[in-house]
Amino acid sequence: MLTETTVTKLQEMRLSVMAKAFKEQLTNPDEAGLSFEDRFGLIVDKEWLCRKNNHLNRLIKKAGFAESGACVEDIEYHADRNLDKTQITRLATCNYIAEHNNILLLGATGSGKMYLACVLGMATVRNFYTVKYIRLPELLTELAIARSNGTFRKVIQQYKKPSLLILDEWLLYSLKDTEARDLLEIAEARYKKASTIFCSQFDVPGWCDKIGDLLIADAICDRSVHNAYRIVIDCKESMRKRMGMISEA
């Protein structure tokens, strides 16, 4: 009777994993000889691990990665990609996030910028930081809709909060004046407070032409570039083509 009452109380406190572990211990002869402290520790460990895994899954889902299965171990260091494994391994520790620095991921279409950004994003959520991945064209569309329906302040606030913001297809198209000002507001709000990964086909000197207004362009670059790690991916052959050849083999 006492056991059933204990299980019920654990469930009412939303400690269902502990309740299950407690019931399993009562029927497991291998754990019968353990001390109370060890048995209780095993029960707590199961609840803690479950909650950590649930938290991680929520962070991954909320991040909206284009490649949710991306991981450091699967990066392909082909010689022609010119990737510095030591640098990427160091960035995967997320120290740059604690220091509120940025990353510039530069390379041509098909070079694997998006995948590498998701790798670093996944490493970030595994350290239980918040992450948001979005293509810049989608972000600008979302902000334009929010401006028209009166939710602009609420939406833009969502892009100021994440510990890491991944902006894919950065400046793929030229900006309108309102779009440039919106990006400046986000850059200003995140400067020295959070980190951003910019995935772009264009090197920094070409950003000004895409932004348009030179004053706004200088302001955005000043808040984005000077505290950023730089990764340039040289790729003579598209990674999509490479992966297609592998799957056909």
Say yes or no: 238 and 168 in one domain: yes
Say yes or no: 162 and 48 in one domain: no
Report how many domains make up the chain.
Answer: 2
Rg (CA), the chain: 23
End-to-end CA distance of the chain: 62
pLDDT score recorded for residue 238: 54
Say yes or no: 130 and 215 in one domain: yes
pLDDT score recorded for residue 143: 95
Considering 17, 34, 62, which residue would you say is the last residue of a domain?
Answer: 62
- Asked if the model's pLDDT at residue 85 lies above 50, the reply is yes
pLDDT score recorded for residue 241: 52
Q: Which residue has the higher pLDDT, 118 or 209?
A: 118
Say yes or no: 49 and 76 in one domain: no
205/183 Cα distance (integer angstroms): 17
120/71 Cα distance (integer angstroms): 8
Mean pLDDT of 142-156: 93
Say yes or no: 74 and 19 in one domain: no
Q: Which residue has the higher pLDDT, 22 or 55?
A: 55
Q: Which residues of 39-63 are buried (b: 16+ CB within 10 A; e: fewer)?
A: beebbeebbeebeeeeeeeebbeeb
pLDDT score recorded for residue 27: 84
pLDDT score recorded for residue 21: 86
pLDDT score recorded for residue 25: 85
Say yes or no: 50 and 143 in one domain: no
Mean pLDDT of the chain: 88
pLDDT score recorded for residue 60: 94
Of the chain, the percentage scoring pLDDT greater than 90 comes to 60
pLDDT score recorded for residue 239: 53
- Asked if the model's pLDDT at residue 217 lies above 50, the reply is yes
Say yes or no: 137 and 17 in one domain: no
Q: What is the pLDDT of residues 162-196, one digit of tens each?
A: 999 999 999 998 999 999 999 999 999 999 999 99
Say yes or no: 33 and 73 in one domain: no
Q: What is the pLDDT of residues 19-49, one digit of tens each?
A: 888 888 888 887 777 888 888 888 889 989 9
Q: What is the pLDDT of residues 220-247, one digit of tens each?
A: 999 999 999 999 997 665 555 555 444 3
Say yes or no: 220 and 140 in one domain: yes
Say yes or no: 176 and 160 in one domain: yes
- The whole domain housing 49 covers 2-62
Q: Which residue has the higher pLDDT, 208 or 134?
A: 134
Say yes or no: 28 and 107 in one domain: no
